[in-house]
Amino acid sequence: MQRLITPAKTYSEIYDTFRWALPDQCNIAHQICDRHAEDPDKIALIHHVGADIRTYTFREIQQRANQFANVLTGLGLNQGDRVMVLLPQHPVTAISHIACWKAGLISVPTSILFGVDGLEYRLNNAEIRAVVTDQANLEKVLEAKKLAPSLEHIFVIDGSPEGGAMPFYETLDRASDSFRTLMFSPDTPALINYTSGTTGWPKGTLHGHRVLFGHLPGAEVLFDLYPQPGDKMWSPADWAWMGGLGNTLLCGWNYGTPILVFPMAGFDPELTMRRMGEHAIRNAFMTPTMMKLLKPHSHLVERNNVRLRSIISGSEAVGKDLLSAMLDIFKATINEGFGQTEANMTLGNCSGLNHYRIGSLGTPLPGHKASILDDEGNELPPGTVGNLAFKRPDPVMLLEYWRAPEATASKFIGDWMISGDLASKDEDGFYWFHGRADDVITSSGYRIGPTEIEDAIIRHPAVSMAAAIGVSDPERTEIIRAYVMLLPGHEPSDALADEIRQSVRDRLSKHEYPREIRFVDSFPMTTTGKILRRELRAQAKAEQSGQG
């Protein structure tokens, strides 16, 4: 399939000659599914569960998505209504998104890691009308539904649904598998992906159908001049996050690349190596944390005949030592990239054209413009640390924060979108990460806002106040540490710390609970009564360096 970038001998030529050419009318579903379904035998997805391997063609995905689009519109959902997809990587996850986009509905990818509080907030904030989930998550949905009046329909893909939920497959079997995909302007809303909140609850990042096209030049570069004959893709990244959904599912299916899906109870290095070898995977997207877990199992590459061609890594810094080790293990091109929920796949390296700096975020990918700004929006010279920013218009960039005009306005200085990260640019145009300008915690590839965690901790009957920060960790980049002040009559103890951890896991998600809890008598505060998390971070850093 034809690339968007023009082949050239140098990366500079590729970047300088690139121009966006968005269609006047488009639909993500047409781009990643319908046009490939014209070939009834073209493979879209391999679903490997235990000993069972099921292959889906694009035609089969299209027919199921058509059925679900008919079901949703038949229930009275109209263009612009929101549907939550609360599933792990699964064929129905893709089918559900495509069905929504076909009918002009807005899909809301949501991680199964979230607990009742996290679901209730998103259900209400987006005024979700329908949810697609499984038995493992149905109880949470039914509990959250009690306080979410907009939710009318729940579809369950397995087992015997309860609480008025509908069986997904049986419901689809009664619907027509013919549906005319609606076409829209590129700015028409397609999905809401919630981002981490640092000064409040998470914000819904609204993206248009254009977001697919915004990803493509980055994928072509980072997957080493992708696509190429024989490419086949896999990533453990959750499709509820922009990295998993955008980097793999959207980009892979845009080019008709088969995608492998297999369930794992946590990241399993041995199973990963086995599956990549069995299915001849050529392209992978993995976070550095996952690479660190694979490193001790390098002997399994030859044993399982793993033959990767290209690897994208992101979400956290890879580091020179880890990158060198992965190159030795996989003998594949590894490119580090950078992106966010608001604007994904914007910076990256291209080692295939000798355009890279180990440890850097890379340079702007084709079609994207970046800079380092001061707080007034002035561009800073090379070597100066400032706000990493990206310039609009850009198809990969958010349309707005969902129903949050003030938050949307504050995200920009003029036409520059402020990322919230601090970085510098060297004389060669490569960007280097220096830290966060906000309080987002980066752990195991997840960007986690402290507000939800603190709110969950404070709900515990023994807690008066709480503050969550990230502290450096060699395996996860950062782990969550919570500083907790107790109410009178309660004493610190290991048992109480465990109780608080578990309450956060139950309310939010497994990746948002504090691995460390420190009980304190007071907090550093601003004159207006806000906890100074930056002082807690400085204190933690001093402790780790042996100065505290």
| Domains, the chain | 25-184 (3.40.50.12780), 441-544 (3.30.300.30)
322-356 pLDDT, tens digit per residue, is 788 888 999 999 999 999 999 999 999 999 899 99
Lowest mean pLDDT: which of 1-5, 196-200, 205-209, 380-384?
A: 196-200
Q: What average pLDDT score do residues 387-400 get?
A: 97
Percent of the chain, pLDDT > 90? 76
111-122 pLDDT, tens digit per residue, is 998 999 999 999
Q: What average pLDDT score do residues 178-186 get?
A: 98
Residue 483 phi, psi (nearest 5)? -100, 125
Query: pLDDT at position 316, please?
Result: 64
Q: Is the pLDDT of residue 73 over 90?
A: yes
Determine contact, residues 441/482, Cβ cutoff 8 Å. Answer: no
Query: pLDDT at position 223, please?
Result: 96
**Most confident listed range (188-197, 222-231, 311-320):** 222-231
Query: pLDDT at position 293, please?
Result: 82
Residue 544 phi, psi (nearest 5)? -70, -30
Query: pLDDT at position 528, please?
Result: 45
pLDDT band at 445 (very low <50, low <70, confident <90, very high): confident
> What does R_g of the chain's alpha carbons equal in angstroms?
23
Query: pLDDT at position 454, please?
Result: 84
- The mean of the pLDDT values for the chain is 92
Bridge partners for 184 per DSSP: 26
Determine contact, residues 215/222, Cβ cutoff 8 Å. Answer: no
Among 178, 210, 187, which Cα is nearest to 31's?
Answer: 210
215-267 pLDDT, tens digit per residue, is 999 999 999 999 999 999 999 999 999 999 999 999 999 999 999 999 998 88
Among 148, 153, 150, which Cα is nearest to 164's?
Answer: 153
pTM of the model: 0.84
pLDDT band at 197 (very low <50, low <70, confident <90, very high): low
Lowest mean pLDDT: which of 367-381, 439-453, 472-486?
A: 439-453
Q: What is the C-alpha to C-alpha distance for residues 301 and 298, in angstroms, rounded to an integer?
A: 6
Bridge partners for 207 per DSSP: 191
Pick the residue with more confidence: 499 or 440? 499
Where do we find the tokens 């004493």?
A: 491
Determine contact, residues 15/366, Cβ cutoff 8 Å. Answer: yes
Q: What is the C-alpha to C-alpha distance for residues 412 and 49, in angstroms, rounded to an integer?
A: 45
Among 142, 28, 158, which Cα is nearest to 92's?
Answer: 158
Determine contact, residues 68/105, Cβ cutoff 8 Å. Answer: no
What are the percentages of helix, strand and coil residues in the chain, rounded to 5?
A: 30, 25, 45
Give the pair of three-digit tokens for residue 115: 């607990």
Bridge partners for 84 per DSSP: 108, 131
